[in-house]
């Protein structure tokens, strides 16, 4: 019996609470055997492909009735909802609600950007980062010129582990990739830099913050500045621990070291058992982070991921420090280069760069997993720009949006159904229709790179941003979908693998949610349960 149908007459609030992590839910925790292997996608036919109807009118009506009840009850009923669910094989519409209307998608926009990157770059594409110079390196290791770190948009110059398993993992210091470049240069014989240490991020035009990002975003890791050079996600970890006794200052450390900002610590240690009371302030562009409040004695250390505002300057200073720690004397300064270097003289007269160290990224298929599983905003921005850069430099944000729009037209998305101002969905200016999302997913399912795309989606109750959602429900292991969340917005779009082997492609977008966003998340999850139960084998036409 459908868990949704069993709720009738008992009230929506009781129904949602009955299965969201409840001990008496009674569902097996292991995903069904048919869907254990998330790397084996079910390929769908083109929209409107011929074939017998798979779902009975009764099954579709049951789902429609449950959807309308869920979306019309309580706090969910005060919001705007757009929903479209289609049979992946035939393209038949199973349910729709405001499917042609615009919604702010939040991170569901990552579905568009990662598909674009896989299509334009290919799943085997690797980013290349180099340490190079146009100066001469003497036999004694003296470099007569600048040492330049050239970034080309690699999102994983960090210690992130691949392949992705369940959640993000790291191995080593956050500046590990940069340290390995320094080690290579020293191994090539570098002992002295008579010029500067330069971080060149001119591969992308300088646009640290896309239109529609808010001031509050920019302090934290999810709003880190965009640059062709990204070290450790352009973040620094601030760790706060209590002092030795009540009344003593709390202890603060930063990792990795940075000169992007300094911290003024005004946090005092409070008695054991008291509640933490912390305020962190950084004004845009300010070189100072102020931490105020109290933290309890014996409290567990707290970790805060702070965004770097000037990534290239940060990378240059950190690289200079790493080189000096390895015995390299640097006579110049650490600085950034945001514009392409001017040509020297006639064509062909400039000295070709000497590459002293090189870092090749993991294949794009692996990088896309980290993007979608963990909803990495900065990484998505890099994928969009790296794909566009293959056609040459662009000048404006409008040029970048036009590049993306050309791909969406190829995918069969109606003109105007995607209004895009960034790649990640953090912008509040982005708009999409549920129809556009489903059309994109139908297109992706027919492409040679679909296996990598499908494997990048979070799996309900298993990994990524769905790790803790839909556990102990019939939807566990069966929903492969991208989450989305900004203030007053919750979204979920992807694929539902039904018990009988059928697949449903769906998009659920909600806007104008109230302060209790968990109620919107509960409604989204309940819809996923309905997809699996109402449209499963017992409901399908025989």
Position with higher pLDDT, 461 vs 344: 461
Mean pLDDT, residues 283-299 taken together: 94
Token representation of residue 296: 């309890």
Distance CA 365, CA 459 (A): 17
Is the pLDDT at 43 greater than 70? The verdict is no
pLDDT tier, 53 (very low <50, low <70, confident <90, very high otherwise): low
Is the pLDDT at 21 greater than 70? The verdict is no
**Given phi > 0 = left and psi -120 to 50 = alpha, else beta, which region is 102?**
beta
Task: Supply the DSSP symbol for 318.
Answer: H
When mean pLDDT is compared across 7-21, 54-68, 349-363, 430-444, the lowest value belongs to: 7-21
Cβ burial, residue 360 (10 Å; 0-12/13-18/19+): exposed
Give the three-state DSSP class for 459.
strand
Residue-wise pLDDT for 232-254, tens only, equals 999 999 999 999 999 999 999 99
Backbone angles phi and psi of 291, in degrees to 5: -115, 120
Strand extents, DSSP E, 109-226: 128-133, 136-137, 142-144, 147-150, 192-193, 197-200
pLDDT tier, 132 (very low <50, low <70, confident <90, very high otherwise): very high
Give the three-state DSSP class for 158.
coil
Q: Check: CB of residue 314 under 8 Å from CB of residue 231.
A: yes
Position with higher pLDDT, 9 vs 384: 384
Mean pLDDT, residues 328-347 taken together: 82
pLDDT (0 to 100) of residue 6: 35
Closest CA to 492 of 514, 463, 522: 522
Mean pLDDT, residues 342-369 taken together: 81
pLDDT (0 to 100) of residue 4: 38
Is the pLDDT at 351 greater than 80? The verdict is no
Closest CA to 266 of 244, 240, 286: 240
Q: Check: CB of residue 31 under 8 Å from CB of residue 462.
A: yes
Is the pLDDT at 457 greater than 50? The verdict is yes
Residue-wise pLDDT for 71-87, tens only, equals 998 888 899 999 999 99
pLDDT (0 to 100) of residue 54: 78
pLDDT (0 to 100) of residue 32: 33
* Sequence-separated (6 or more) residues with CB below 8 Å from residue 278: 240, 267, 291, 292, 293, 294, 295, 302
Q: What is the 3-state secondary structure (H, E, C) of 364-394?
A: HHHHHHHHHHHCCHHHHHHHHHHHHHCCCCC
Give ranges for CATH 3.40.710.10 in the chain: 34-122+363-534
Q: Check: CB of residue 90 under 8 Å from CB of residue 442.
A: no
Distance CA 486, CA 108 (A): 11
Closest CA to 157 of 373, 424, 374, 359: 359
pLDDT (0 to 100) of residue 461: 97
β-bridge partners, 506 = 85, 494
Give ranges for CATH 3.50.80.20 in the chain: 128-360
Is the pLDDT at 18 greater than 80? The verdict is no
pLDDT (0 to 100) of residue 107: 98
Strand extents, DSSP E, 25-169: 80-87, 93-97, 128-133, 136-137, 142-144, 147-150
pLDDT (0 to 100) of residue 293: 97
Q: Look up the pTM and report it.
A: 0.88
When mean pLDDT is compared across 136-150, 335-349, 453-467, the lowest value belongs to: 335-349
Is the pLDDT at 350 greater than 70? The verdict is no
Closest CA to 445 of 41, 36, 35, 34: 41
When mean pLDDT is compared across 248-262, 321-335, 338-352, 395-409, the lowest value belongs to: 338-352
How many residues are there in the chain? 542
Is the pLDDT at 35 greater than 60? The verdict is no
Residue-wise pLDDT for 149-195, tens only, equals 999 999 999 999 999 899 899 999 999 999 999 999 999 999 999 99
pLDDT (0 to 100) of residue 538: 56
Q: Which fold has domain 34-122+363-534?
A: Beta-lactamase (3.40.710)
Position with higher pLDDT, 48 vs 522: 522
Residue-wise pLDDT for 191-243, tens only, equals 999 999 999 999 999 999 999 999 999 999 999 999 999 999 999 999 999 99
pLDDT (0 to 100) of residue 516: 66
When mean pLDDT is compared across 280-294, 422-436, 512-526, the lowest value belongs to: 512-526
- CATH architecture assigned to 128-360: 3-Layer(bba) Sandwich (3.50)
67: enclosing H helix or E strand: helix 57-72
Share of the chain above pLDDT 70, in %: 87
pLDDT tier, 536 (very low <50, low <70, confident <90, very high otherwise): confident
pLDDT tier, 349 (very low <50, low <70, confident <90, very high otherwise): very low
When mean pLDDT is compared across 19-23, 436-440, 445-449, the lowest value belongs to: 19-23
């Amino acid at each position: 019996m459908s868990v949704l149908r069993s709720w009738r007459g008992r009230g929506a609030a009781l129904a949602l609470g009955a299965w969201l992590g409840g001990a008496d839910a009674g569902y097996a925790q292991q995903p069904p055997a048919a869907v254990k292997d998330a790397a084996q996608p079910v390929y769908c036919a083109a929209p409107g492909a011929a074939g017998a109807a798979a779902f009975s009118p009764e099954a579709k009506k049951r789902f429609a009735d449950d959807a309308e009840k869920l979306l019309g009850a309580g706090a969910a009923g005060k919001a705007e909802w757009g929903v479209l669910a289609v049979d992946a094989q035939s393209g038949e519409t199973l349910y729709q609600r405001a499917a042609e209307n615009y919604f702010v998608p939040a991170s569901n926009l990552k579905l568009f950007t990662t598909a674009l990157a896989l299509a334009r770059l290919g799943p085997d594409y690797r980013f290349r980062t180099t340490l190079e110079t146009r100066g001469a390196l003497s036999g004694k290791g003296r470099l007569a010129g600048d040492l330049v770190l050239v970034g080309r948009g690699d999102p994983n110059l960090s210690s992130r582990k691949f392949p992705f398993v369940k959640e993000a993992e790291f191995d080593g210091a956050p500046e590990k990739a940069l340290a390995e470049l320094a080690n290579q240069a020293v191994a090539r014989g570098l002992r002295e830099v008579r010029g500067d240490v330069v971080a060149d991020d001119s591969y992308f035009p300088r646009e640290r913050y896309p239109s529609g990002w808010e001031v509050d975003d920019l302090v934290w890791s999810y709003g880190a500045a965009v640059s062709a050079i990204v070290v450790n996600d352009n973040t620094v970890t601030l760790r706060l621990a209590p002092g030795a006794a009540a009344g003593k200052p709390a202890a603060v450390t930063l990792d990795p070291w940075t000169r992007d900002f300094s911290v003024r610590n005004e946090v005092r240690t409070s008695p054991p058992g008291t509640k933490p009371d912390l305020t962190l302030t950084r004004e845009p562009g300010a070189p100072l982070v102020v931490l105020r409040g109290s933290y309890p004695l014996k409290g567990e250390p707290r970790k805060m991921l702070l965004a770097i505002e000037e990534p290239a300057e940060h990378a240059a200073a950190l690289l200079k420090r790493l080189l000096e720690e390895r015995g390299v004397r640097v006579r110049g300064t650490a600085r950034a280069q945001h514009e392409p270097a001017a040509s020297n003289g006639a064509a062909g007269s400039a000295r070709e760069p000497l590459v002293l160290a090189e870092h090749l990224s993991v294949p794009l298929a692996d990088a896309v997993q980290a993007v979608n599983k963990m909803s990495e905003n900065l990484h998505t921005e890099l994928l969009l720009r790296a794909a566009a850069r293959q056609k040459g430099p662009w000048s404006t944000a409008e040029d970048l949006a036009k590049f993306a729009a050309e791909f969406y037209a190829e995918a069969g998305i109606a003109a105007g159904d995607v209004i895009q101002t960034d790649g990640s969905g953090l912008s509040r200016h982005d708009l999409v229709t549920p129809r556009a999302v489903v059309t994109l997913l139908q297109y992706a399912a027919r492409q040679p790179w679909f296996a990598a795309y499908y494997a990048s989606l979070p799996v309900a109750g298993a990994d990524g941003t769905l790790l803790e959602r839909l556990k102990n429900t019939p939807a566990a292991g069966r929903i492969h979908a991208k989450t989305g969340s900004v203030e007053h917005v919750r979204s979920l779009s992807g694929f539902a693998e039904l018990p009988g082997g059928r697949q449903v492609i769906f998009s659920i977008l909600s806007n104008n949610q109230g302060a209790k966003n968990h109620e919107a998340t509960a409604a989204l999850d309940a819809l996923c349960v309905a997809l699996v139960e109402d449209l499963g084998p017992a409901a399908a036409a025989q």
